Amino acid sequence: MGIEIERKFLVQNEQWRAGIEGELRIVQGYLANNYSTTVRVRIQGEQAYLTLKGPTRGISRTEFEYSIPLSDAEFLLRDQSIAPPIEKTRYLVRHDADLWELDVFAGSNAGLVLAEIELEQPDQAFTPPEWLGAEVTADARYYNINLARHPFLCW
């Protein structure tokens, strides 16, 4: 069973750009969402994935991700999404020994930049980068499913 343990933060300046190690365009949509399961389809570059996520408990949740054909993902995003897809560019940014994922949102979430760090343990220590802003891990407004339903530009 896969477990996702992550913390999410706002980004307060552009200093993170100095540590970019990779960049990937992402389009993702949601096929289902209820109290126990979220089903997401994502196109990441030329790869596509179907992901099932369990309920969040603290900063952890179960996660199962499967590769699917790109044409299937395109169909699901177009015809089966319960909200408009999210568009973002993901940057992989190194700070000390940690690899951060910074999402720069586009479309109706333009202007939002979030940083995530995936951890091995919920209480794992890390050195916060100088560009890191307020933690929003527990703020449901920043969950991608909620950004799809209630975009940042509408707040």
Domains and CATH numbers, the chain: 3-154 (2.40.320.10)
Q: Are 150 and 119 in contact (CB under 8 A)?
A: no
Is pLDDT at 34 greater than 80 in this prediction?
yes
**Mean confidence (pLDDT) of the chain:** 96
Distance CA 146, CA 140 (A): 7
Q: 76-123: per-residue pLDDT in tens?
A: 999 999 999 999 999 999 999 999 999 999 999 999 999 999 999 999
Catalytic residues: 30
Within 10 A of 1 (CB to CB), how many other CB atoms are there? 6
Q: Which residues pair with 99 in a beta bridge?
A: 94
pTM (2 d.p.): 0.94
Among candidate residues 28, 38, 37, the one with its CA nearest the CA of residue 68: 28
Is 120 within 8 Å of 6 (Cβ atoms)? no
Nearest Cα to 21, choosing from 109, 97, 88?
A: 97
Q: Dig out the tokens for 16 from the structure.
A: 């993170």
Mean pLDDT of 129-146: 96
What percent of the chain stands above pLDDT 70? 99
φ, ψ dihedrals at 83, nearest 5°: -155, 160
